[in-house]
Amino acid sequence: MDAVGVVVNPIAGMGGRVGLKGTDDALEEARERGAEPRAPDRAREALEALARRKPGLTVYAAGGEMGETEAREAGFDPEVLTDPGEETTAEDTREAVRAFVERGVDLVCFVGGDGTAVDVAEVLTDHGGETPMLGVPAGVKVYSSVFAVSPGEAGRIAAEFDRIEPREVNDIDEAAYREGNVRSELRAIVPVPVAEGLQSNKQLAGGSVEALAAGFAAEVETDTCYVFGPGSTVGAIEDELGFAGSPLGVDVWRDGEVLASDASEEGILEVLDGCERTVIVVSPIGGQGFVFGRGNHQISPAVIERAERVEVVASDEKLDGLEVLRVDIDDREISEGLRGWRRVRTGRFTTRLIELV
């Protein structure tokens, strides 16, 4: 690879920790809730990994925090092709990608979520669909299989790939998502580098977990705050405990009382101040195996740090499709502390060992 185009959606993922499940049409609300950008740091991490392997690479970038700033901080001297406004838009992303194609880049590397992936894919498809794209995960919604599993892996893949394959770009309706409904739509098929370290498509449904839920509920501890992550598997446990959880949000429960429903990171931490013990309960997301970092950003490193332990639950059917579990959070020390072999509850009395990497 001789040249790469870099475009960053600087607001991607801002809604996650504050419980908005995205920033489409909700940026001002995210800011009012105290959301902070995470995409620039993730872009920098990916570009630093790329720079270590290809320091002399030609880099084209969108101006400012849409790529230029992060590329310079990673050690590149990018050629800036566009000048986005202070409040960036999807059209700024599309304009940058059009400029990259005109320069004949070998790869478009974008930082964001599924919405950004759709914008990039639309332009590439309109221009013949031959230029490959690769995503650095930074959004709340990351359902497409065009993303690397982490920023560092994205940088490595960009530097080392030697062939491409067609992959799917999917997106969901954020307004429906906030109401607890997942409506996924295939938006494009695009060329993507072939490499270990790419995520698979998310499976949006799972099998029956009644026995698992009954077994877990029978063993809940008193005087313990349970932080329940999103998903149907954890939702079955909440049903067994006798309350209607938020299917795509995070709830906190103790001794029969819901302390917080569909809570933001701040809301969770506030509740946990009054908890003697805390247990986090999560299930891996679909076919990818992520237990943190996909759809549950409210369970932030600060929340994880407060927990006495993390319980992972999943059906045998879901685990059969996974080689490993994964974590993708912005705290290396906590990530390392989570890694290792995990005993995952699969039924009323059964567990399985699987490695978290």
202 domain-assigned: no
Give one word for 313, left, alpha or beta, with left for phi > 0 and alpha for psi -120 to 50: beta
Residue 174 confidence (pLDDT): 57
**Is residue 70 a part of any domain in this protein?**
yes
Rounded Cα distance between 243 and 321, Å, is: 30
Contact predicate 146/125, CB 8 Å: no
Do 189 and 216 fall into the same domain?
no
Domain, as residue range, for 298: 210-356
- Which of 193, 226, 254 marks a domain boundary? 193
CATH code (residue 51): 3.40.50.10330
The predicted structure's pLDDT at residue 268: 96
Residue 204 lies inside a defined structural domain of this protein: no
**Do 223 and 176 share a domain, yes or no?**
no
Q: Is 41 found in the same domain as 182?
A: yes
Say whether both 317 and 238 belong to one domain. yes
Say if residues 102 and 94 touch (Cβ distance below 8 Å). Answer: no
The 10s digit of each residue's pLDDT in 45-84 is: 999 999 999 999 999 999 999 999 999 999 999 999 999 9
C-alpha–C-alpha distance, residues 85 and 91, integer Å: 11
Give the integer Cα–Cα distance in Å for 24 and 196: 30
What tokens appear for 308 in the block?
């006495």
CA quadruple 203, 209, 212, 214: dihedral positive or negative? positive
Q: Determine how many CB atoms are found less than 10 A away from the CB of residue 186.
A: 11
Q: Is residue 198 a part of any domain in this protein?
A: no
Residues (pLDDT < 50) of the chain are 15-21, 26-27, 29-35, 203-208
Indicate the number of domains in the chain: 2
- Domain boundary (168, 193, 218) is at 193
Residue 223 lies in a domain: yes
User: If we measure between CA atoms, which residue out of 318, 309, 312 comes closest to residue 342?
Assistant: 312
Q: Are 125 and 108 in contact (CB under 8 A)?
A: no
**Residue 200 within a domain:** no
> Contact 226/252 with Cβ under 8 angstroms?
yes
Q: Are residues 214 and 189 in the same domain?
A: no
Burial of 179 (0-12, 13-18, 19+ CB in 10 A): exposed
Of 193, 219, 242, the residue that ends a domain is: 193
| Model pTM score | 0.63
pLDDT of 183 reads 57
For residue 258, what is the enclosing H or E element? strand 257-260
